[in-house]
Each structure stands twice: as C-alpha cells, then as structure tokens.
Chain A
C-alpha cells in the first residue's frame, strides 16, 4: 500500500530535550516536505527536499533541522524544543512537478 508513515503519532516532551520525528514514504517520491498546522494559521511549510542531500527552507524553518540521506526518509529534528513548537506536524511526499502531495497521518507534539 502506498503510504507516508510518521512516528511517533503523539509526543509530549519538555523544553530543551532533543527529539526526532521520523517520516518514511514507499512511493519513490523525490519531493518530501514537513508542515506544521496551528489553529487559524493553516499549514505552514517548515522544510522541503527535492532529492537526497537537497533540502530547502520553507516559511517557518527556525528551530528545526532536517536531513535527507535516503530517498524514502526525511526526519524532522528539534534540537531544543520550546513550547511555541507545540503543534500538529505533517510529513508529505510527491513527485516533482504539478502533482498532489501525499500526507502522513500527523504527529501531535506538546512541549511543556
């Protein structure tokens, strides 16, 4: 089954404790992306990647890191999480070009 998986689905952590949210897709997509969704703000792109070792900042990259060492995986790293990073996070993938993105199920992160 074609899918994007994210882990964990739910995470409660404390300020400053490094965490990684994993994302994996099995559709051989070149393009992968991370978003955060906050009430009233819609989805905002954090980082995206056009291919292995190629990443670019989206609209809200501060406080996040990503890496793309394999085509299928695109982890999101919060080196020192803060409460303002409490949000719902989505990973997505697509082919390059005018194609829709396939979304993972989301990760609800709470930073206390």
Chain B
C-alpha cells in the first residue's frame, strides 16, 4: 500500500485565490511527522511546513497552512492568496519515528493563472 497518496496530478488556481492540495497517508505508527515540500521548475526542494502527529493545532507558516485530520489520515496543504511564484510541484511526505524512512507522494503540479 502507498504510504503517501496525492490524487491531484495537476491543479490550476487563479492568482490571489486560495487552493488546497490533497494528501492522505497510511501508517500504524502512532508517532510520525508530515511535511510539504515545493519544487519549482529550477529543481530544488524547498521545505514549506511540518505537522507532528501529536500536534493539537494545525500548522501554519505564512500563507501556508496544513489542514490535519488525523482520523481521516489526511494532511492537506492550503495556500492562501496564490501568487505566480507558487507555480511548482508540491510533494507531501511522511516520516515515521520508529522506521526512520521518509516517504514521498507522487506530487501535485500547481499552476497559478494571472
């Protein structure tokens, strides 16, 4: 079974609008971390936001927030007030504390339309 599932290969959003990128995960480990990374066309991997499995509140970092629904095993990324520079690939990832492996999803390509 896939550890991380991103079901949206491509998404479009109007500039200044909000967009949600979906991510579901699969683990039986009670302790884990969830991450989102951005990969612009230049290729580098940029860390955006982190959510721990025991965190009570949803993580936020500037225009990025993580909608964490533990019972549903989902960790959706919300980008508010989209900008042209947000056009990129976005990857959801998980790290199980016991296993020490990192698992990445297949990514979502986001295009911001002026």
Contacts and interface: CB of A to CB of B under 8 A. Distances in A.
Interface stretch (A15-23, A69-77, A93-101): A93-101
A31 B32 CA distance: 16
A5 B103 CA distance: 22
Given A90-B45, A100-B35, A40 B106 contact: yes
Contact of B107 (A42, A59, A97): A42
Contacts of A88: 43
Interface residues of A, number: 27
- Chain B: number of interface residues, binned into ranges: 20 to 34
B28 to A, nearest CB: 17
B97 A98 contact: yes
Q: Interface on chain B toward A: helix, strand, loop, or mixed SS?
A: strand
Contact of B106 (A41, A45, A103): A41
A106 B37 CA distance: 15
Q: Interface on chain A toward B: helix, strand, loop, or mixed SS?
A: strand
B103 A45 contact: yes
B68 interface: no
A56 B100 contact: yes
Nearest to A44: B104
A44 B32 CA distance: 18
A43 B4 CA distance: 11
Nearest to A50: B100
B50 interface: yes
A88 B43 CA distance: 9
A33 interface: yes
Contacts of B103: 45, 59
A37 to B, nearest CB: 8
B101 A43 contact: no
A43 B43 CA distance: 12
A103 B100 contact: no
A33 B6 CA distance: 22
B27 to A, nearest CB: 13
Interface of A: 31, 33, 35, 40-45, 48, 50, 56, 58-59, 88, 90, 92, 96-103, 105-106
Those 5 A-B pairs whose CB atoms lie nearest each other, nearest first: A103-B45, A98-B33, A43-B104, A42-B106, A100-B47
